[in-house]
């Protein structure tokens, strides 16, 4: 990963973009924080791997179908209200 100061990144923006498009992540340092610049294809690949919460819960090994078998099936106790 190539690292840049913000001033250098501004002056050599074309080089920075070309490096990112070639698949090399670019780290730009700024006084109040850092950013990583990657190509759109790499970004979509990273985001595309995320599952929704529902997909995560329903995908193995997190299946929840077996939970019903674990529940106590004895009759409920009566409660005086």
Is position 77 within any domain? no
Structure tokens that stand for 47 in this block: 């985001």
The domain that holds 30 is classified in CATH as 3.40.1620.10
Q: How many domains does the chain have?
A: 1
Q: In this structure, is residue 79 part of a structural domain? A: no
* Nearest in space to 17 (alpha carbons), one of 37, 47, 41, 42: 37
Asked if the structure places residue 8 within a domain, the reply is yes
How does pLDDT run across 17-72, given as a tens digit for each residue? 999 999 999 999 999 999 999 999 999 888 887 778 888 778 777 666 666 677 77
DSSP, res 49: T
This prediction's pTM = 0.57
In a domain, 61, yes or no: yes
Radius of gyration of the chain (CA): 25
């Amino acid at each position: 990963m190539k690292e840049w100061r913000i001033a250098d990144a501004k002056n050599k923006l074309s080089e920075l973009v070309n490096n990112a498009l070639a698949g090399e992540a670019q780290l730009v340092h700024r006084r109040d924080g850092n950013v990583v610049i990657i190509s759109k294809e790499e970004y979509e690949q990273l985001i595309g791997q995320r599952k929704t919460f529902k997909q995560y819960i329903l995908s193995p090994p997190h299946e929840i179908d077996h939970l019903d078998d674990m529940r106590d099936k004895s009759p409920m106790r009566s409660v005086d209200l």
